[in-house]
Structure 1
């Protein structure tokens, strides 16, 4: 800025001291001596005077037509910014507030130099420089004292907006490109545009990283690089549940998980994967009922888990599950997949409708809403990892010795694993300390015992209803031999069926005991019972449940029959083509095809070939031509030439 020179008289008025004092202390400010009318006159630079004095001079000399509003410092804003600032920002504010206060009114390089020397000797932990004081004065004069707190925002980055845009677009992606690679991309694009010639004219990658962190919150960067799911799992907004109005055993939440353990199943060569279908109390996290199985998850296992829990504790009022096929079907919830969920409308023959249980389905792809997922992780870390055949949930978790364990076969059978899993879910897991907010350090069993006595006893059902829980339904018609259960290739018969032949009914059967089944009409009214036909029933004793095993044997016999038929009528192979063609050639037999022999048509090529044969008898063809010179031409043997000669004659 250009200096503004005023007389010592004007300076004394601005400073509020006598002119004599101004002359004595002229060295404190920037001054000079001018010649005016043959005498020396002292001139003072207004900009070197204290800020209050220089501001008064500026305001007094401004044109009258221009209105200038001086914005006062917002003290409350500064205080709020100071409270929210980091420790480093607070330390910077305290340091420069003190320094600027001590050097207030000191101007001129010489005077500031003496001040800086004295300050640095007295305060070695807060050293400064003349350049830093000028810079801080300029920032405070432009932005106020808040600039001392947000000093990094006031300082302008050396990274241009176009360069930063290229860097940001590369770095804030799910591919997780490194800072260095993103910086290289921005550098390459800057060189292509002609902004810089080489790396020496380009800011460092640290400058890009600093600007990125100053403009984007850490969680925003985490969302861009880690993805939506991981962000909401770790850093997203979560609702706190209020369990005060919820009773123990009122709501059950269910799901199926894969045990991260390989087991040996009889009849299977390869190590098998096993599952657990579990229903857990929503409030106490107490396991209500479960089903351990090594076959694929399905409605049958879900119904078994429900029966196990109802038999032990009683009926829940509501059930909270996901949208899996084992839950959304006619047998369990009465609401099939692919249709809109209507919680008040359930299929009349479904388990939920018969027992008066209200169904709730989780939002699709929102598994984090189910507390059972977090308990599955506890089971995995506390139980699955105890086995030498632990396979892990991902490739990263897979133990290195697993391959050798599976090859040696030294791991548990399904029966051994089943017993240990039952013991863990019945005794160990309920007694483990729980980290739930409402548990207050209690175990699942302790919280259950404390809460269950506060409510009325849970509803119970009869043994007949329990046996009906795991039953499955299928629609079909009464045939000449009764009702044919196509899934298991078995027939059922009852004396009432002759009058119902040709009509469609709903058939309900228990997979655990298939000796007896039930049929319902189209109005869901029970028609009567029916029994398994004697072809299978004759092998069943009164104290033995047929279940799937005997029916499966029948299906196995059917498959064996199909295998035998395939051996009789095998599929074609690639070698059979050659065999079949050879056989057909033999069947056709040798064939004599008459081909008449006509005269040979001689061409010039035949004459050239004859000449070459003659030359070979003599020796070298070239030598033969040199020695003998002209060779007597033999008569033409060309049939065509002979014909022409004959015509000429």
Structure 2
């Protein structure tokens, strides 16, 4: 806006002070010296005067200008802006709200000067000046009290919105461009648009960073540059759990972790990776049961870890796990993957259903909700890093000497690692200091011992039930040699199987002890027990007592099967045929079959029979046959004779 120059005398009139006072305080406003009639005249920009003086000038010079309706201050907007403002902006707002309130109604430089002197003496931590008061009054008059919040944040920034958009677009990305690179991008785009010619007329990098920090909270910048997962792991919203009503041992949380250690496994040339399936008490973080294994995570290892914990402490009431295949299946939880979780409809043969344990599954891709993940980090730092074959969780953590260690083969075997890990989990980990909010500096074992005595003893199960915990189920049919377990290519036999051949059953077996298994019908009712059958050698020698015993056992089994089948299906007797026919006749009922009567077809036999009857009446049958002479034959009237004669010719 162009300045409006007025004389010092007019300025003194608008300000309500003398011309001499205006000349003494001329540095407070925009002024210039001009020549009029051969002499220098002091002129002042009316726009730089306080709002009251400039408004008075407008009213005097533009009497026809319509009045502008001022809108009321939006208190709610001011409060919301104040809540979102930085500490520096809040401090500025509080200071100037108080100063403007105290000096309200004070006009004139002389009176304001006295107020400023008294204020600075009484409030040395919030000093001010006449010029600052005029500026803040004008700011509030134009933009309301909200301008006091944004005073030093964005309104006076030298970075334009277009420049700032280019900078923040480059800086707030997961690629983590530096502030200098983002500044260079903004500078280059500004030059292309013709907004600047060089660095001299372009804001500095610090100006961009200051505006970025004033408009975006630190956590927002962290989210944009570090990503969603890291943000929620470190700065995201987390629920505050209340453990007051939770009993020790009531809820177990489980998961499987890969040890960051290479081990040597017999029969494998390459270094092997090993795992731990762990169940931990939700309240005390005490390890309940675990299973160390070097094969891929599966239901068998999960069931073994559960069995170890139940055998040692007792049954939990609830289990909290993720949605892995080792948990979402028919044998462990009764809740298969790919189906909606229905906690009240668990598969009847699952471990959870048999033991009366309620299953809880974590939200998909929300592993941070499980406290066991944080405890795995403690195990990693206090055990994994003790081995020279420690491989780290990623490429960055991988130790440099690892390659040489693996090449020399100078690292622990699976058996050695297994013994040390078992000792650590049982004797070391429970005694480590815990940083849990409700632990108050106590170890896991100390908090467990204090809490477990406050509740009733945990439920126990029999050894028979424990042996069934790790069992697996598979469906199949009883065949000629018994039940064939295709997964392991083994056969099972029992004396009750002959009568069940061809029927479908549910087969349950223990991977740790394959000697005995159990079969159930489709209604989940136990049929009986069966035993593992080993194959007999193709050629059994005379001194092979084991082979002979196996053959004898097989022959005896075959005879028993024949005897049992004969009892069920005895041989038929000769009387049964007539009995069965009579029963069948009764079943079909009386058979009234209509027989139509047609014309009789006469043959030569009928003619001969008539002649014999005639001869018998006259008594010369023999005599007729004795005569051998020319006898006149009558023409045949029989169709059969005509056909026979014609065929002979």
Verify the 8 A CA contact 1:304 1:470 in the aligned structure 2.
yes
What is the distance in 2 between the residues matched to 1:55 and 1:28? 23
Please state how far the C-alpha of 1:266 moved relative to its aligned partner. Answer: 1.9
Q: Any residues of structure 2 matched to 1:62-461 within 5 Å, and which? A: 66=67, 86=87, 90=91, 105-106=108-109, 138-139=138-139, 142-143=142-143, 150-153=150-153, 155-461=155-461
Verify the 8 A CA contact 2:153 2:211 in the aligned structure 1.
no
Show the counterpart of 2:493: 493
Verify the 8 A CA contact 1:50 1:105 in the aligned structure 2.
no
SS in 2 for 1:332: coil
What is the distance in 2 between the residues matched to 1:512 and 1:245? 38
Verify the 8 A CA contact 1:49 1:105 in the aligned structure 2.
no
| More moved, 383-392 vs 405-414 | 405-414
> Where does the alignment leave 5 or more consecutive residues of structure 2 unmatched?
32-42, 538-544, 548-649
SS in 1 for 2:364: coil
State the Cα RMSD in Å. 4.6
Verify the 8 A CA contact 2:290 2:304 in the aligned structure 1.
yes
SS in 1 for 2:240: coil
Please state how far the C-alpha of 1:181 moved relative to its aligned partner. Answer: 2.4
Please state how far the C-alpha of 1:150 moved relative to its aligned partner. Answer: 3.7
Please state how far the C-alpha of 1:252 moved relative to its aligned partner. Answer: 0.7
Please state how far the C-alpha of 1:129 moved relative to its aligned partner. Answer: 10
SS in 2 for 1:153: coil
Verify the 8 A CA contact 2:51 2:137 in the aligned structure 1.
no
Q: Any residues of structure 2 matched to 1:513-524 within 5 Å, and which? A: 513-524=513-524
> Where does the alignment leave 5 or more consecutive residues of structure 1 unmatched?
16-20, 32-42, 541-649
What is the distance in 2 between the residues matched to 1:507 and 1:329? 16
Alpha-carbon distance change, 317 to 288 in structure 1, aligned in 2, over 3 angstroms: same
Alpha-carbon distance change, 22 to 300 in structure 1, aligned in 2, over 3 angstroms: closer
Verify the 8 A CA contact 1:5 1:46 in the aligned structure 2.
no
Please state how far the C-alpha of 1:188 moved relative to its aligned partner. Answer: 3.1
Verify the 8 A CA contact 2:8 2:19 in the aligned structure 1.
no
Alpha-carbon distance change, 190 to 431 in structure 1, aligned in 2, over 3 angstroms: same
Please state how far the C-alpha of 1:27 moved relative to its aligned partner. Answer: 5.5
Alpha-carbon distance change, 289 to 170 in structure 1, aligned in 2, over 3 angstroms: same
Q: CA offsets per residue over residues 579-628 of structure 1, 9 Å max, x none?
A: xxxxxxxxxxxxxxxxxxxxxxxxxxxxxxxxxxxxxxxxxxxxxxxxxx
Q: TM-score, normalised by structure 2?
A: 0.69
Please state how far the C-alpha of 1:433 moved relative to its aligned partner. Answer: 1.5
Q: CA offsets per residue over residues 226-260 of structure 1, 9 Å max, x none?
A: 11111111111111111122111111110000111
Verify the 8 A CA contact 1:6 1:46 in the aligned structure 2.
no
What is the distance in 2 between the residues matched to 1:211 and 1:44? 34
Verify the 8 A CA contact 2:109 2:130 in the aligned structure 1.
no
What is the distance in 1 between the residues matched to 2:143 and 2:460? 75
Verify the 8 A CA contact 2:219 2:235 in the aligned structure 1.
yes
SS in 1 for 2:153: helix
Q: CA offsets per residue over residues 81-113 of structure 1, 9 Å max, x none?
A: 599753697489869998997x98448xxx99x
Q: CA offsets per residue over residues 350-390 of structure 1, 9 Å max, x none?
A: 11111111111111100001110001011111111111111
What is the distance in 2 between the residues matched to 1:83 and 1:367? 32
Alpha-carbon distance change, 27 to 152 in structure 1, aligned in 2, over 3 angstroms: closer
Show the counterpart of 2:579: none
What is the distance in 1 between the residues matched to 2:232 and 2:80? 34
Q: CA offsets per residue over residues 36-90 of structure 1, 9 Å max, x none?
A: xxxxxxx99999998778878878997797366597998x979995997536974
What is the distance in 2 between the residues matched to 1:190 and 1:45? 33
What is the distance in 1 between the residues matched to 2:455 and 2:332? 27
Verify the 8 A CA contact 1:28 1:106 in the aligned structure 2.
no
Size of the aligned set, in residue pairs, is: 519
What is the distance in 2 between the residues matched to 1:521 and 1:482? 15
Verify the 8 A CA contact 1:147 1:154 in the aligned structure 2.
no
Verify the 8 A CA contact 2:81 2:146 in the aligned structure 1.
no
Q: Any residues of structure 2 matched to 1:437-586 within 5 Å, and which? A: 437-535=437-535
Q: TM-score, normalised by structure 1?
A: 0.69
What is the distance in 2 between the residues matched to 1:539 and 1:139? 106
Please state how far the C-alpha of 1:500 moved relative to its aligned partner. Answer: 0.8
SS in 2 for 1:265: coil
What is the distance in 2 between the residues matched to 1:206 and 1:200? 14
Q: Any residues of structure 2 matched to 1:2-81 within 5 Å, and which? A: 2=4, 66=67
Radius of gyration: which is bigger?
A: 2
Show the counterpart of 1:628: none
Alpha-carbon distance change, 52 to 28 in structure 1, aligned in 2, over 3 angstroms: farther
What is the distance in 2 between the residues matched to 1:83 and 1:236? 18
